[in-house]
């Protein structure tokens, strides 16, 4: 029930690890409920997501995302490229400037 086309939110790999189809069903139903029930269910959902997050880190599943794995040391440019799709146009421009600066710094270090 998103009425503002500019507020679409992209999900990250982390979001997919926390996703639960049943919670998504409840989230979809929230706008059709009375406000007190909306508030209550919103809090229950967030508590469930927090619980799933704590279980995720206690079970070692986060390494499944792969970026922080011991065999691969991510670079700042990789991180910037990962966050860029979630930025607004102004932030994206700033990220691209930082990327360019990082590339120039790396080029200076190798010469």
pLDDT tens series, the chain, 111 aa: 455 545 677 888 888 888 888 999 999 999 999 999 999 999 999 999 999 888 887 866 555 565 555 566 778 888 899 899 999 999 999 999 999 998 888 888 887
User: Do residues 49 and 19 touch, judged by C-beta distance below 8 A?
Assistant: no
* The pLDDT value given to residue 61: 56
Helices marked H in 1-111:
13-18, 21-29, 35-58, 76-83, 89-110
Residue spans per domain, the chain: 11-69, 74-111
User: Do residues 98 and 84 touch, judged by C-beta distance below 8 A?
Assistant: no
């Amino acid at each position: 029930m998103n009425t503002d086309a500019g507020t679409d939110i992209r999900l990250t790999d982390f979001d997919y690890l926390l996703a639960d189809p049943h919670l998504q069903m409840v989230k979809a139903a929230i706008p059709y409920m009375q406000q007190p029930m909306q508030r209550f269910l919103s809090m229950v959902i967030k508590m469930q997501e927090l619980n799933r997050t704590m279980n995720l880190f206690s079970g070692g599943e986060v390494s499944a995302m792969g970026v922080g794995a011991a065999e691969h040391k991510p670079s700042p440019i990789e991180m910037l490229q990962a966050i860029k799709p979630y930025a607004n146009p102004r932030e994206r421009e700033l990220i691209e400037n930082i990327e360019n600066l990082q590339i120039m710094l790396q080029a200076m270090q190798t010469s």
